[in-house]
Structures are given as C-alpha cells and as structure tokens.
A and B are shown apart, each in its own frame.
Chain A
C-alpha cells in the first residue's frame, strides 16, 4: 500500500462521515453542518465477521480500511466481529426486528465543553446510550461498508466477498438489491454524494428507501 497523505485520509474521512449522517443520523432532519450541536450517527452494532485475526490485522494496515472501521464500526471488542455462536441470533434479530439499538458516534455534546472535547478528540466518540434505528438502515449500512472496503483492498475482496454474500443473504438481500448496493458504492467512490435527487436509478424499493430516503 502506497503511503497515504493525511490530506487524502481527511478527505476520505469526511466522505465517510457525511455518508453515515445521510444513512442513519440520530436526528435525520438536522443538517450536517449543525451536527456539532449534538447530532450523531449510528455505530454499526458489530464488525464484519472475519474470523482470521491475522487477515484482519493485514486489512487494518490499509489506512483507508482502518478509517472505515474507525468511523463506521465500534472499535471495542467487537472489532473481531460477533462471537460465532452469537452470529446467527444477531443476524435473525437484525433481519426480523423493526428496530436495532445502536450506540452513537458523535462529534460533541452540545455546549462549550462538548465543543472543546470534540476539538481535542482524534476520532468520533461513542455514546454509552443506545438509540433505536430502523433495522433496514443497519442492514443496508453493514453491506454497504463491507462492499466499500472490498473495493479498496484487493486481498479483502479476494478473501471476503464470500463472507459479504453470506452476510447479505442472512440479512435478506436479493440479487437486485445487491446490484443496487454495488452501484451505490461505485457512485459514492466516483466522487458523488447521496441525496434524494441523486441521478442514480435503482431497481429496488429497498435501495430507493435506503439511499434516496424515498
């Protein structure tokens, strides 16, 4: 992996955060510019189930993948993914329940103290509280970030797309949905941003709901 400048990583981080806010902001109607006032976004409730620690360590040597993990996934013990014996139950809950309780990544609490903490913090911090999000947002987010990582790193792609397809199947994805999610990943990485009026056409109502909020 070539050396990646801080500027490039900062731009990538901004893109990730903007996308997270678009997908599953704690207060969806609040503009991103006002997030300093206490908005935040859902932290993915568990990491991708990569059971081989050495492979995961290698992936995390890629600064872009590390960035995705830092910004989108919980960085505590769940970084290795859920325990295998919990995985099935977790998937079923995520698929069948309307809501999924997630911790929140937030830039700051409101008020001057929160602002100072935000300025001093290296990474977004995670709230102790959990907030219920629509499960479709979390399902969509999990697969979206998994696919995005697959585009970044060839070894991840070569080793893990079977895991991504298994995970997607468990979360109720169809082939058309997968095509839409793949198209959306490329759309974002081609330098575009998601919005209600984005020109990308999707095949499935699930994609329109998740990416266009329609």
Chain B
C-alpha cells in the first residue's frame, strides 16, 4: 500500500507547519479557517493523530456568532475580538469557494493567492478597477466591459473572456498602460487592440536628413540641392508619421457594421475576425 504523503500547513509567518506546537505558535485565524473550509485542516489533524480535535472542530456550528472564537479556543489561541472584524468565517468561506472555482481554470499560485483580484462578474470588475492597488485584474466570466478611464491596468483572462471597451480611447492602450492577455476582443476594441499591439508612433520613419541622391549627384548644383532639400522636408512633414494600412477599407466597413443594427446578423463573423 502506498505511503500517504502528509502535507504541511502554511501560516503567514511560518510555512510547512507539521506539528501542533508550531500551529499553535504561528496560529492565524484566517489561514486556519481557509484550511477548515477546504477540509484540509481535518485531514492534517487526522494524519497527525489529532482526530479528537478534528471532531471538536466539525462539531462547531458555523452559523453561530462565536464560531471564530471557538476555533481559536480549540487551538489555545487568543481571539482578538477587536481585530476579528477583518476575519469572519463567512468571508473566508467565500474566499475558499472562489479559489475552488479559479482552480478549475488555473493552478497558478500567484493567481490563487490573489483570488480577491479575480472578477467573476461586471460588478466585481467595476469595484476592482477603482482600487489603485489592483494593478492586475483577473477575469473569470463570459463577457466584461472595460473602460479606458482607469490607466495602468493589466487584464488577464482566465477562461478566454470576451471583452469590449465602453468607449474607444483616442490614444493607444499602450499609452494608457492597459494590457490585455488571454481575452477575446470584440467590437470597437478591435481598433484599439490593433493599435495596442502595434503602437502608434508619432514619427514612424526616420531619415538621416537630405543628401543628394546618387542618381542626381552630378546634375544638381548647390542651389538646386537647397531647393530639392525643401521638397525633401515637405515629404518628411507629410509622410513621416503616415502608416500604410492595406486593410483600411475593410476596417471602415467593419466599423460601419459594428455601429449599425446589422451587428447581430454578423456576430459570428465578427467574433471570428476578432
């Protein structure tokens, strides 16, 4: 029979806790409750011969107001009522549920540890983007509407969410500091995304300045070269930042369809193009 591999518990101030003494020493209510709700605490206790403690925990009524306090008592930890407001069993249980849902799409530890930065719906996304500390927002849902109002954000799709922008910004996503990965882009965002992939350069072409061409070197005197240089400057001024786009007519047509009542009829086609 294969030997069971016993796992350690991770507390904020100590990783890989393997004994009851260590658990009591580094006890953290939030972390312990997470293990409680994902059933790993019971497993950990049973693996180490603390079945009676596991039974005590399982006998607790989660819905009672003193649930958190009773958990602390079982482990001989002091329950700090004044700071307990930040840690409630209800919040931790919700967090565990979120992590379980996220785990269906990714095992990335960074994302799981930042489960609070995962938006499951538009309302959660709206709340997250307003928070300056949330630089990276993970998207787990079918469709989201993004806004260019909040700069310097990275949106990472976990289940290939469809995103569109509430408004088409005048500047590129790169200039806004907005990055999109792992998402399907719809609608006017096509234009924005293309510009983001290929940033709009203020001066696309850089020549090294006028110098008479080899073909005309022997034909032009200094005065004529000076006149030619003026024409050179006209070209630079007019074409220096111009970008050739052979698809420009198709793009215009696409925008017309996007902005018309016909959009629904072409949805599948536009989705494929996006």
A191 B216 Cβ-Cβ under 8 A? no
Please provide the chain B residues from 216 to 246 with a CB less than 8 Å away from any CB of chain A in the complex.
216, 218-220, 224, 227-232, 234-239, 242, 244-246
B244 A170 Cβ-Cβ under 8 A? no
Judged by DSSP, the binding face of A is helix
Complex interface: chain A residues within 8 A of B224 (CB): 169
Complex interface: chain A residues within 8 A of B234 (CB): 165, 175, 178-179, 182
A165 B210 Cβ-Cβ under 8 A? yes
Choose from A151, A166, A182 the contact partner of B244 (Cβ within 8 Å): A151
A173 to B224, CA, bound (A): 12
A-B contact count (CB 8 A): 115
A147 B239 Cβ-Cβ under 8 A? yes
A165 B231 Cβ-Cβ under 8 A? yes
B235 A164 Cβ-Cβ under 8 A? yes
Min C-beta distance of A52 to chain B, whole Å:
7
Choose from B205, B216, B218 the contact partner of A170 (Cβ within 8 Å): B216
B239 A157 Cβ-Cβ under 8 A? yes
Min C-beta distance of A193 to chain B, whole Å:
10
Q: Which residue of A lies closest to B252 (CB)?
A: A191
Q: Interface residues of B, CB < 8 Å — how many?
A: 36
Task: Check A113 for interface membership: any CB of B closer than 8 A.
Answer: no
A158-B208, A162-B212 in contact; A182/B239 too (CB < 8 A)?
A: yes
A11 to B252, CA, bound (A): 15
Interface centre among A49, A161, A183, A189, by most B CB within 10 Å? A161
A170 B235 Cβ-Cβ under 8 A? no
A11 B235 Cβ-Cβ under 8 A? no
A185 to B235, CA, bound (A): 11
Task: Check A133 for interface membership: any CB of B closer than 8 A.
Answer: no
Complex interface: chain B residues within 8 A of A33 (CB): none
Complex interface: chain A residues within 8 A of B252 (CB): 191
- Residues of A bordering B, CB below 8 Å: 4, 8, 11-12, 49-52, 64, 81, 84, 87-88, 91, 147, 150-152, 154, 157-158, 160-170, 173, 175, 178-179, 182-183, 185-186, 189-191
28 sample A-B contacts, Cβ–Cβ < 8 Å, listed by A number: A8-B246, A49-B213, A49-B216, A51-B214, A87-B215, A147-B235, A150-B239, A151-B242, A154-B204, A157-B239, A161-B235, A162-B211, A163-B214, A164-B231, A166-B212, A166-B219, A166-B220, A167-B213, A167-B215, A167-B216, A168-B228, A169-B231, A170-B220, A175-B231, A175-B234, A189-B244, A189-B245, A189-B248
- Residues of B bordering A, CB below 8 Å: 204-208, 210-216, 218-220, 224, 227-232, 234-239, 242, 244-249, 252
Closest 9 CB pairs between A and B?
A: A182-B238, A49-B215, A163-B213, A165-B232, A166-B216, A165-B231, A178-B234, A169-B228, A191-B249
